[in-house]
């Protein structure tokens, strides 16, 4: 029920627009690394100092106008320039819908090509974040087209999809981030139970570690991390074939621990004014995320669920009143 609540909130365009006007609120400041390039570069440098690399997401949702997609493209190009100029250890993560996939396929393809081309010239990797099931095939198609000319692209495989095994085999020669999945999907397309998702997640990780190019293992679950540690040890998987990934602001101590143990570690660093949808999906993913946010919003662990949900609701109500 909680997952449905926060997924529903994440898809509310009115609340998303309201959130942009109010800045980082509801605890989002603990998991979003600022609203501009200067702030995110500062965060990246701090992480790099601990031996942690970063993947940078300039957040954006509900893009249905060409001028919005063009603005998003220019913002990402500026991030690439900043990564190069600051000589930080970072690469790009982006969503095709932010660059116009819901507007026009060729328009989106051209935007992405411009980004990938510039990143390629600077030796910067670009990862295509996968979204809900309706966007999978066109996103994979864009990846296919760009990979004919560029080798600095990769994507995400979401373990809750029944098709995930087929997709990971098709793209085994790509750098892949393997995740559990953060959208609400129908049972005919995706596993619904945590146990089934976790089992498929581990299967995909192990298969790609043995057969793939490079594996980014994106999880905060220390049980799965420990299983992966044992698997790579038993199967003599070299360190340069994989990395662990976690989200900015989550399980910081474990992130530092893994980096100090000599594992490749990458933090997913989101930033920007369009933080609302991202933040709500993080709350939907796992109950533990609510407690982390509550510490900052309420300075206590009680009433977390009600408080954060109410905060999102009130943000919309306050904005609505202001508009009248």
Which residues sit in the known binding site for FAD?
130, 158, 180-182, 194, 219-220
Q: Is 251 a catalytic residue?
A: no
Question: What is the CB-side half-sphere exposure of residue 231 using CA atoms within 13 A?
Answer: 17
Question: Which of 129, 167, 198, 274 is the catalytic position?
Answer: 129
Q: Is 129 a catalytic residue?
A: yes
Stretch (H or E) spanning 49: none
Q: Distances in Å between the alpha carbon of 223 and those of 45, 47, 228, 233?
A: 29, 24, 9, 16
List phi, psi (to 5°) of 265: -135, 140
Terminal alpha carbon distance of the chain: 32
Residue 9: closest CA among 157, 164, 184: 184
Binding site: what residues are annotated?
95, 130, 158, 180-182, 194, 219-220, 281-282
- The length of the chain, given as a count of residues: 324
Question: Treating both helix axes as pointing N-terminal to C-terminal, what angle do 222-234 and 194-211 enclose, rounded to 10 degrees?
Answer: 30
Question: Which of 57, 167, 177, 251 is the catalytic position?
Answer: 177
Using CB atoms within 10 Å of the CB of residue 21, give its burial: 0 to 12 exposed, 13 to 18 middle, 19+ buried.
exposed
Long-range contacts of 101-110 (CB under 8 A, 24+ apart): 101/135, 101/138, 101/139, 101/142, 102/63, 102/64, 103/63, 103/64, 103/65, 103/66, 103/69, 104/66, 105/138, 105/141, 105/142, 107/66, 107/69, 108/69, 108/142, 109/142, 109/145, 109/146
Tokens 């143990």, residue located = 261
Strand stretches in 77-203, DSSP E:
90-94, 126-128, 153-158, 175-179
Binding site for substrate: what residues are annotated?
95, 281-282
> Which sequence positions are flagged as catalytic?
129, 177
């Amino acid at each position: 029920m909680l997952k449905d609540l926060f997924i529903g909130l994440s898809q509310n365009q009115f609340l998303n627009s309201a959130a942009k006007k109010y800045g980082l609120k509801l605890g989002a400041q603990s998991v979003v690394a600022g609203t501009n390039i200067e702030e995110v570069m500062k965060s990246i440098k701090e992480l790099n100092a601990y031996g942690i690399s970063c993947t940078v997401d300039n957040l954006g949702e509900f893009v249905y106008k060409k001028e919005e997609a063009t603005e998003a493209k220019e913002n990402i190009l500026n991030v690439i320039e900043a990564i190069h100029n600051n000589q930080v250890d970072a690469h790009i993560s982006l969503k095709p819908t932010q660059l116009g996939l819901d507007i026009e396929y060729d328009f989106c393809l051209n935007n992405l090509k411009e980004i990938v081309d510039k990143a390629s010239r600077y030796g910067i990797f670009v990862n295509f974040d996968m979204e809900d099931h309706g966007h999978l095939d066109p996103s994979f198609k864009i990846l296919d087209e760009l990979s004919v000319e560029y080798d600095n692209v990769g994507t995400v495989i979401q373990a809750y999809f029944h098709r995930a095994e087929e997709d990971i085999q098709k793209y085994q020669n790509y750098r892949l981030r393997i995740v559990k999945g953060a959208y609400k999907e129908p049972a005919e397309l995706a596993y619904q139970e945590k146990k089934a998702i976790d089992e498929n997640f581990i299967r995909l990780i192990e298969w790609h570690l043995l057969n793939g190019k490079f594996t980014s293992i994106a999880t905060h679950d220390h049980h799965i991390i420990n299983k992966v540690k044992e698997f790579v040890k038993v199967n003599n998987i070299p360190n340069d074939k994989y990395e662990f990934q976690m989200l900015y602001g989550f399980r910081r101590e474990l992130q530092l621990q893994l980096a100090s143990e000599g594992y490749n570690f990458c933090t997913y660093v989101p930033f920007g004014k369009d933080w609302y949808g991202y933040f709500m999906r993080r709350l939907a993913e796992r109950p533990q995320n609510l407690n982390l946010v509550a510490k900052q919003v309420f300075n206590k662990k009680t009433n977390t669920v009600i408080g954060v949900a109410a905060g999102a609701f009130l943000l919309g109500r306050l904005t609505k009143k202001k508009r009248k």
